[in-house]
């Protein structure tokens, strides 16, 4: 038996070292493989986790939309006022519906009880001024002449004949359709609503008895351009020339 048996020689040590290196390499490869498997499993788990909870909830809400009621309730009809008794027929209705052999109320004798209204005679203006009757004594007479007219304006001339001598004069009238005077010559103008007043200039304020005073103006109109009415000279009604 050789002394020192059991101690590895240099060749044995080299073989042992090489085997140890190979074992370490296998362990390293196995570790890398296990790590790769773990990473793959972790990535798979992460990809399967639900993201966007709000979107999923919104999609769930959309999927759970309430089905419309097939028999919706209709609004109750508005309450109607209680029926009232039919008003009595007027005299005109009774005359219109009378029988052919029934006498008309207009045929009643003068002594009968006739409740029909009698319309007032004569015409009056909305401003309370009435055109003077031909039979009334008038101190002036007016002539209104529409010289020219275009889609939104017109030109007119007013001629007043006074039976009395005047030291100054003021002519006024009313429009029916909202006309507005914009320019006037041979007089100064003022307008309050539908009422227009023309005042004499310094050079034509004196008028002899039986003479004429004349002035003209340009005004605007819309829709209708009826002639003016209720002419007055110094607050006295004037008759219109025929």
C-alpha distances in Å from residue 76, one per residue of 68, 69, 70, 82, 132: 20, 18, 18, 17, 62
Q: In this predicted structure, which of 27-31, 33-37, 107-111, 152-156 has the lowest mean pLDDT?
A: 107-111
Q: For position 219, what pLDDT does the model report? A: 98
Determine the Cα–Cα distance for residues 150 and 198; give it in Å rounded to an integer: 23
Q: Tell me what the pLDDT averaged over the chain comes to.
A: 74
Per-residue model confidence as pLDDT tens digits over 69-85:
555 555 555 555 555 54
Specify the higher pLDDT residue, 229 or 7. 229
Taking 70 as the threshold, does the pLDDT of residue 45 lie above it?
Answer: yes
Distance CA 131, CA 239 (A): 7
- Could you tell me where the DSSP H helices lie in 79-144? 91-97
Rounded CA-CA distance 133/238 in Å is 10
Domains of the chain with bracketed CATH: 140-240 (2.60.40.290)
pTM above 0.75, yes or no: no
- pLDDT above 90: percentage of residues in the chain: 41
From 43-52, 66-75, 205-214, 230-239, the region with the lowest mean pLDDT: 66-75
């Amino acid at each position: 038996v050789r002394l020192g048996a059991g101690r590895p020689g240099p060749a044995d040590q080299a073989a042992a070292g090489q085997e140890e290196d190979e074992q370490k390499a296998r362990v390293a490869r196995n570790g890398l493989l296990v790590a790769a498997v773990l990473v793959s499993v972790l990535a798979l788990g992460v990809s399967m986790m639900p993201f966007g909870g709000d979107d999923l909830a919104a999609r769930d809400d959309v999927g759970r939309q309430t089905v419309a009621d097939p028999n919706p309730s209709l609004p109750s009809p508005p309450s109607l006022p209680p029926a009232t008794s039919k008003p009595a027929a007027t005299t005109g209705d009774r005359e219109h519906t009378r029988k052919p052999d029934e006498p008309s109320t207009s045929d009643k004798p003068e002594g009968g009880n006739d409740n029909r209204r009698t319309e007032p005679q004569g015409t009056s203006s909305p401003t309370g001024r009435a055109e003077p009757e031909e039979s009334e004594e008038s101190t002036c007479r007016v002539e209104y002449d529409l010289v020219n007219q275009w889609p939104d304006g017109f030109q007119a001339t007013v001629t007043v004949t006074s039976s009395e001598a005047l030291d100054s004069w003021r002519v006024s009238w009313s429009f029916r359709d909202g006309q507005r005077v914009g320019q006037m010559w041979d007089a100064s103008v003022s307008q309050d609503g539908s009422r227009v007043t023309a005042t004499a200039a310094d050079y034509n304020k004196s008028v002899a008895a039986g003479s004429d005073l004349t002035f003209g103006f340009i005004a605007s109109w819309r829709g209708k351009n009826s002639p003016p009415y209720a002419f007055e000279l110094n607050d006295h009604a004037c008759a219109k020339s025929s």
